[in-house]
């Protein structure tokens, strides 16, 4: 009975190398820290003023604005190199 032809094994190919990651621009860290500090100051001002400031008339939405600023700053930390 004839034998079947053996398959040639492929040579090992290493996985593609990751692209070189460049450092963040010089403005990135100050903006990141600025957003976190501004958000913290916004929330503290809102608590001290009883919800009437920094933007009068929107009451507790001032807290949401402050937290969004802080979350944006913390979100930027994930991309910082």
**Residue 67 resides in a domain:** yes
**Residue 65 resides in a domain:** yes
Residue the block writes with tokens 């937290």: 67
What's the total number of domains in the chain?
1
C-alpha span between 37 and 70 (Å, rounded):
7
pLDDT, mean over the chain: 90
For 64, the domain range is 33-77
Using DSSP's 3-state secondary structure scheme, residue 80 falls into coil
**Residue 7 resides in a domain:** no
**Residue 11 resides in a domain:** no
**Residue 19 resides in a domain:** no
* Cis amide leading into 54 (omega within 30): yes
**Residue 13 resides in a domain:** no
Question: What's the pLDDT tens digit per position in 40-49?
Answer: 999 999 999 9
The percent helix, strand, coil of the chain (3-state, each to 5) is 45, 0, 55
**Residue 62 resides in a domain:** yes
Question: What's the pLDDT tens digit per position in 55-66?
Answer: 999 988 999 999
**Residue 28 resides in a domain:** no
Q: Could you tell me the pTM of the whole model?
A: 0.74
């Amino acid at each position: 009975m004839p034998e079947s032809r053996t398959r040639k094994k492929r040579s090992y190919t290493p996985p593609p190398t990751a692209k070189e990651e460049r450092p963040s621009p010089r403005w990135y860290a100050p903006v990141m820290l600025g957003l976190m500090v501004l958000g913290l100051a916004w929330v503290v001002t809102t608590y001290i003023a009883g919800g009437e400031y920094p933007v009068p008339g929107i009451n507790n939405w001032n807290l949401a604005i402050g937290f969004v600023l802080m979350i944006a700053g913390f979100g930027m930390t994930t991309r910082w190199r």
